[in-house]
């Protein structure tokens, strides 16, 4: 009987030892097996700034219109740093988590015009409208098509700084103003070990902004208005390190 008990104990310890060794030398977990995945990286690509703009000069009995709901269509590069995490809903192949970002864009829309006043003098007008720094946060929801291939949807809030430079004869105005926007995005991402590579496509729609600037023409104060509602589309490559 004692020999049987010892034999059973040896079998149990042997099975336990094999389990410990298997866990110790287990290969790295895939994205589907990790409960939480932290990441940080870079996103760079092309922005297209579109939307509508209207610019007018109000005088005593006249209204000079430089643009009237004119379409904006400008392309340029963009770069941002990102960081966040994804949490898996066990046992479903669905992940969700927050992401924050900070970056810089360069899309610029310029309008120039030359008009005449009541005395027949030429007036030179120009406005340079440019997207500069931006930052924000969003929620990503992902679906695992296979252990390390992730498709995502995102919804978030964007805050961008837009620079507006305006010139009217001898009047020069330069201001930087923050615009709030809502972002919507889709993406696909492939994870290879501790690295993630992907493609992000995003739409950011900002609230309409109306700015009125006082100007002096022929020693008389006038109002120069600028109304704009930008929309930004972006397509960018994503490179992240997975913690």
The model's pLDDT over 27-63, given as tens digits with 9 standing for 90+, comes to: 455 665 667 889 999 999 999 999 999 999 988 778 8
| HSE, side-chain direction, 13 A CA sphere, residue 83 | 4
How far are the Cα atoms of 2, 8, 22, 129 from residue 12, in angstroms, in the given order? 15, 6, 15, 75
Please answer whether residues 88 and 140 qualify as being in contact, where contact means their C-beta atoms are separated by less than 8 angstroms: no
The model's pLDDT over 192-215, given as tens digits with 9 standing for 90+, comes to: 989 999 999 999 999 999 999 999
Whether 133 has a pLDDT exceeding 90, the answer reads yes
Q: Is 194 helix (H, G, I), strand (E, B) or coil?
A: coil
Measured on CA atoms in the order 19, 20, 22, 26, is the torsion positive or negative? Answer: positive
The model's pLDDT over 137-146, given as tens digits with 9 standing for 90+, comes to: 999 999 998 8
Percent of all residues in the chain with a pLDDT value above 90, rounded to a whole number: 67
pLDDT score for 202: 96
Higher pLDDT, 121 or 163: 163
Write the DSSP symbol of residue 93. S
Q: Is 21 helix (H, G, I), strand (E, B) or coil?
A: helix
What number of other Cβ atoms are within 10 A of residue 35's Cβ?
11
């Amino acid at each position: 009987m004692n020999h049987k008990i010892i034999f059973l104990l040896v079998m149990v310890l042997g099975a336990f030892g094999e389990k410990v060794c298997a866990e110790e030398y287990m290969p790295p977990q895939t994205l589907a097996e990790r409960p939480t995945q932290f990441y940080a990286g870079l996103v760079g690509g092309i922005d297209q700034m579109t939307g509508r703009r209207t610019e007018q000069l109000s005088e005593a009995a006249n209204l000079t219109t430089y643009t009237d709901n004119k379409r904006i269509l400008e392309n340029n590069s963009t770069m941002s740093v990102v960081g966040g995490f994804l949490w898996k809903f066990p046992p479903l192949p669905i992940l969700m988590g927050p992401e924050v970002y900070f970056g810089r864009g360069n899309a610029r829309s310029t309008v120039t015009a030359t008009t005449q006043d009541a005395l027949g003098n030429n007036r030179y007008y120009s406005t340079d409208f440019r997207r500069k720094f931006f930052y924000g946060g969003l929620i990503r929801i992902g679906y695992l098509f296979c252990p390390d291939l992730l498709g995502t949807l995102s919804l978030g809030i964007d805050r961008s700084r837009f620079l507006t430079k305006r010139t009217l004869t001898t009047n020069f105005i330069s201001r930087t103003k923050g615009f709030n926007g809502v972002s919507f995005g889709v993406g696909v991402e492939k994870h290879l070990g501790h690295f993630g590579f992907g493609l992000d496509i995003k739409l950011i729609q900002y609230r309409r902004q109306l700015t009125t600037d006082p100007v002096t023409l022929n020693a008389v104060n006038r109002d120069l208005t600028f109304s704009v509602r930008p929309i930004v589309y972006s397509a960018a490559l994503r490179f992240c390190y997975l913690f």
